[in-house]
Amino acid sequence: MRIIIAGDGEVGLYLAQELSKEDHNITMIVPNEELVKSAESHSDVMAVVGDSTLVSVLKRVDVKKADLLISCLHEERINILTAALGKKMGSLKTIARINTLEYLSDDNRKMFEDLGIDHLICPEDVAANEVVDLLRQTAATETFDFSKGKLSLFLLRLEKNAPVLNKTLDQIAKEFVHLHFRAVAIHRNRETIIPKGNDKFLENDLAYVITKPQGINDLLKLSGKEKISIHNLMLLGGGRVGRTVARRLENSMNIKLIEKDRERAIQLANSLGNCLIIHGDARDIQLLEDEDISGMDAFVALTDNSETNILACLHAKKFGVPRSIALVENIDYIDISQNIGIDTIVCKKLSTASNIIRFTMDSEITSIKCLSAINAQVLELVTGPHSPITKYPIRKLKFPAGAIIGGIVRGSESFIAVGDFQIEVGDKVVVFSLPESIHEVDELFH
What is the tens place of the pLDDT at every residue in 152-181?
Answer: 998 888 888 888 899 998 888 887 767 788
> What is the arithmetic mean of pLDDT over 76-88?
96
Greater confidence, 52 or 332?
52
Query: Which pLDDT value is given to residue 119?
Result: 93
Q: 69: alpha, beta or left, given left = phi > 0 and alpha = psi -120 to 50?
A: beta
Residue 129 carries which side chain, given as an amino acid letter? Answer: N
Query: Which pLDDT value is given to residue 185?
Result: 92
Report d(CA 284, CA 286) in Å as an integer. 5
- Within a 13 Å sphere around the CA of 130, how many CA atoms are in the beta-carbon half? 32
Residue 337 has pLDDT above 70, yes or no: no
Report d(CA 25, CA 326) in Å as an integer. 34
Residue 77 has pLDDT above 80, yes or no: yes
Q: Over the stretch 124-157, which tens digit does the pLDDT of each residue have?
A: 888 898 899 888 876 667 788 899 889 999 888 8
3-class DSSP state of 440? helix
DSSP code at position 290? H
> What is the arithmetic mean of pLDDT over 295-318?
92
Instruction: Report yes or no: 367 and 344 within 8 Å, Cβ to Cβ.
Output: no
Total Cβ atoms within 10 A of residue 248: 15
Of the pLDDT bands very low, low, confident and very high (cuts 50, 70, 90), residue 279 is very high
Q: Which of 274, 277, 237 is nearest to 256 (CA)?
A: 277
* Strand residues in 87-213 grouped as ranges (E): 93-97, 119-121, 142-146, 151-157, 181-188, 191-193, 206-211
Greater confidence, 130 or 261?
261
**CA-to-CA dists, residue 96 to 131, 139, 336, angstroms:** 23, 34, 32
Q: What's the sign of the alpha-carbon dihedral 91, 93, 96, 102?
A: positive
Q: Over the stretch 173-212, which tens digit does the pLDDT of each residue have?
A: 887 767 788 899 998 887 888 988 899 999 888 899 999 9
Report d(CA 169, CA 159) in Å as an integer. 17
Report d(CA 208, CA 143) in Å as an integer. 9
Q: Which of 58, 73, 68 is nearest to 7 (CA)?
A: 73
Greater confidence, 65 or 351?
65
Instruction: Report yes or no: 197 and 148 within 8 Å, Cβ to Cβ.
Output: no
> What is the arithmetic mean of pLDDT over 343-371?
80
Residue 9 carries which side chain, given as an amino acid letter? Answer: G
Of the pLDDT bands very low, low, confident and very high (cuts 50, 70, 90), residue 43 is low
Q: What's the sign of the alpha-carbon dihedral 7, 8, 13, 15?
A: negative
Q: Which of 184, 173, 180, 187 is nearest to 151 (CA)?
A: 180
Quick one: what percent of the chain has pLDDT higher than 90? 50
* Strand residues in 31-175 grouped as ranges (E): 46-49, 68-71, 93-97, 119-121, 142-146, 151-157
Q: Across the chain, what does the average pLDDT equal? A: 88
What count of residues does the chain have? 446
**CA-to-CA dists, residue 79 to 35, 75, 119, 277, angstroms:** 17, 7, 12, 33
> What is the arithmetic mean of pLDDT over 288-311?
93
Residue 70 has pLDDT above 70, yes or no: yes
Residue 55 carries which side chain, given as an amino acid letter? Answer: V
Report d(CA 431, CA 403) in Å as an integer. 7
Total Cβ atoms within 10 A of residue 323: 21
Instruction: Report yes or no: 15 and 70 within 8 Å, Cβ to Cβ.
Output: yes
Lowest mean pLDDT among 39-48, 82-91, 96-105, 252-261: 39-48
Query: Which pLDDT value is given to residue 28?
Result: 92
> What is the arithmetic mean of pLDDT over 8-15?
82
Instruction: Report yes or no: 48 and 23 within 8 Å, Cβ to Cβ.
Output: no
DSSP code at position 211? E
Of the pLDDT bands very low, low, confident and very high (cuts 50, 70, 90), residue 59 is very high
Q: Over the stretch 369-418, which tens digit does the pLDDT of each residue have?
A: 877 767 788 999 999 898 999 999 999 998 998 999 999 999 999 999 98
Report d(CA 102, CA 100) in Å as an integer. 6
